[in-house]
Chain A
Amino acid sequence: MSISYSIDSVLDLSYTEENIKYVLSSGMEQGFVYLEDESRKVLSISHVIQKILFDSENIVNHITTKFKDTIFFIWFFKTENNLLIFSIGSFGYRWDKEFNNGVRQYTIDFARYIYLILQVCRNITLLELCTVGDEIENIIYDESACITAMLDIADFDSQKLEYISDGKLSVRSFLVNIIQNGFIVEDNLLEQNIEIYVHEYYEKLKKNSPLYLYVKKDNIPFKIEIKPDIQGYDLVSIYPLARYFMKKGYGSEKEKINIAFYIQRLLELCENFAIYELKTYF
Chain B
Amino acid sequence: MQFFSLFSDEFKCISAPVSKVSTTGSSKIPLNRFSVGYSFQELPAYNSYMCKAQYSAIVCHGSDHLKHYFSTVIIPVMYNITIKNHANIFPCYTYSGGLCDLINRLSQFDGSDRAIIENLKVRLQSYCGRIEDVVFDSHGLFITNLSHARRVELVKTYADFLKEFYAENAPSFFYNQSRDNQLMQQVMPGINWNWYDGRDYVPHKRVAEQRYAGSVNGNLGQVYYAMEQGDSSTAYAMGQEKVQTFFSGRMWGKTEEIASVFEKYPELKRIVEEKYLTDQKACSQRKQVALQQEAKIIKSECENNIDQVIACDILQARCKAAQKDLTNFRSSKYIHKVFLENSKYIDTAFLSNDKKGIIFEGSALQHCLVDEAISVVDMVVCSHLHTKIQDAVVDLANGSLLSNKGGNAITASRMLDACWVVIDFGKKIISCTYTSVGIYAPLIVGGIAEGLGESLHDVAHAVCHPIETVQDLANSLVVVGYYLGKAVFAAAEYESVIDLSLTHPHLAKEMIQGLIDEPSMLPILYEQVKKLSAKDVARGGTKFAADIMLLHGINKLIPLITKDALPAFVNSIRKGMQSTKVVVAVEGIPANCAQEISSLMSSLEKVSGRVDNMVNINNISELLQSFNILKYDSSIGNVKKLEEAIKILKSIPGSLTKDGALFKALEYGQRIDVLMDSKKILEISGRLATARGAMYEVEKAIELIEAGEKIIHMGRKIGGREFDIVTSTKLIECKNIDWSTRVGRSAEKMKSDLGDWKRIAKDNNKIFELHSKNFIPQEWKDVFIKMGINFVEDNVL
Nearest-neighbour CB distance to chain A for B732, whole angstroms, equals: 11
Q: In the complex, are the beta carbons of B686 and A137 less than 8 A apart?
A: yes
- Interface residue B408 (Cβ < 8 Å from any Cβ of A): no
- Interface residue A75 (Cβ < 8 Å from any Cβ of B): yes
Which residues of B are found within 8 Å of A1, using beta-carbon distances?
690, 693-694, 696-697, 724, 733-737
Q: Which of B672, B733, B756 has the most CB of A within 10 A?
A: B756
Q: Which of B96, B719, B744, B745 has the most CB of A within 10 A?
A: B745
Q: Which of B687, B721, B746 contacts A2 (CB 8 A)?
A: B721
- Interface residue A28 (Cβ < 8 Å from any Cβ of B): yes
- Interface residue B531 (Cβ < 8 Å from any Cβ of A): no
- Interface residue A193 (Cβ < 8 Å from any Cβ of B): no
Interface residues of B in 257-291 (CB under 8 A from A): none
B110: nearest chain-A partner, CB-CB? A25
Interface residues of A in 208-240 (CB under 8 A from B): 229-231
A138 CA / B687 CA spacing, docked (Å)? 10
A4 CA / B749 CA spacing, docked (Å)? 9
Which residues of A are found within 8 Å of B689, using beta-carbon distances?
135-136
A94 CA / B756 CA spacing, docked (Å)? 14
CB within 8 Å for A92 and B756 given contacts A1-B724, A25-B110, A59-B787: yes
Interface string of A44-80 (1 = CB under 8 A from B): 1111000000000001111000000001010101000
Q: In the complex, are the beta carbons of B104 and A46 less than 8 A apart?
A: yes
- Interface residue B209 (Cβ < 8 Å from any Cβ of A): no
Which residues of A are found within 8 Å of B690, using beta-carbon distances?
1, 3, 135-136
CB within 8 Å for A138 and B696 given contacts A60-B752, A61-B748, A73-B752: no
What total of chain A residues lie within 8 Å of the partner, measured CB to CB?
43
- Interface residue range, chain B: 35 or more
Interface-lining segment among B129-137, B458-466, B497-505, B674-682? B674-682
Nearest-neighbour CB distance to chain B for A30, whole angstroms, equals: 12
Q: In the complex, are the beta carbons of A29 and B110 less than 8 A apart?
A: yes
Which residues of A are found within 8 Å of B735, using beta-carbon distances?
1
Interface residues of B in 720-772 (CB under 8 A from A): 720-724, 733-737, 744-746, 748-753, 755-756, 759
Q: In the complex, are the beta carbons of B720 and A92 less than 8 A apart?
A: yes
CB within 8 Å for A230 and B693 given contacts A37-B755, A45-B108, A87-B745: no
What secondary structure prevails in chain B residues at the interface with A? helix
A141 CA / B750 CA spacing, docked (Å)? 24
Nearest-neighbour CB distance to chain A for B581, whole angstroms, equals: 30
Q: In the complex, are the beta carbons of A136 and B748 less than 8 A apart?
A: no
Nearest-neighbour CB distance to chain B for A219, whole angstroms, equals: 32
Q: In the complex, are the beta carbons of B736 and A47 less than 8 A apart?
A: no
Q: In the complex, are the beta carbons of A141 and B682 less than 8 A apart?
A: yes
- Interface residue A90 (Cβ < 8 Å from any Cβ of B): yes
CB within 8 Å for A38 and B697 given contacts A6-B749, A28-B108, A85-B745: no
A25 CA / B693 CA spacing, docked (Å)? 39
Nearest-neighbour CB distance to chain B for A34, whole angstroms, equals: 9
CB within 8 Å for A37 and B759 given contacts A2-B722, A25-B110: yes
Interface string of B83-116 (1 = CB under 8 A from A): 0000000000000100000001101101000000
Interface string of A7-18 (1 = CB under 8 A from B): 010000000000
Q: In the complex, are the beta carbons of A60 and B693 less than 8 A apart?
A: no
What secondary structure prevails in chain A residues at the interface with B? loop
Q: In the complex, are the beta carbons of A45 and B684 less than 8 A apart?
A: no
Q: Which of A28, A38, A229 contacts B110 (CB 8 A)?
A: A28
Q: Which of B104, B724, B745, B756 contacts A8 (CB 8 A)?
A: B745
A92 CA / B786 CA spacing, docked (Å)? 24
- Interface residue A134 (Cβ < 8 Å from any Cβ of B): yes
Which residues of A are found within 8 Å of B628, using beta-carbon distances?
none
Q: In the complex, are the beta carbons of A2 and B749 less than 8 A apart?
A: no
Q: In the complex, are the beta carbons of A141 and B751 less than 8 A apart?
A: no
- Interface residue B783 (Cβ < 8 Å from any Cβ of A): yes
- Interface residue A41 (Cβ < 8 Å from any Cβ of B): yes
Q: In the complex, are the beta carbons of A230 and B674 less than 8 A apart?
A: yes
Chosen A-B contacts, 22 in total, with CB atoms closer than 8 Å, are A1-B693, A1-B724, A1-B736, A2-B723, A4-B753, A37-B755, A44-B108, A45-B108, A60-B755, A61-B752, A90-B721, A90-B752, A92-B719, A92-B756, A93-B720, A134-B746, A134-B749, A135-B689, A135-B737, A138-B682, A139-B683, A139-B686
Interface residues of B (CB under 8 A from A): 96, 104-105, 107-108, 110, 672, 674, 679-680, 682-687, 689-690, 693-694, 696-697, 719-724, 733-737, 744-746, 748-753, 755-756, 759, 783, 786-787
**Minimum-distance CB pairs A-B, first 10:** A92-B720, A1-B693, A93-B720, A62-B752, A46-B107, A136-B686, A25-B110, A2-B722, A139-B686, A60-B755
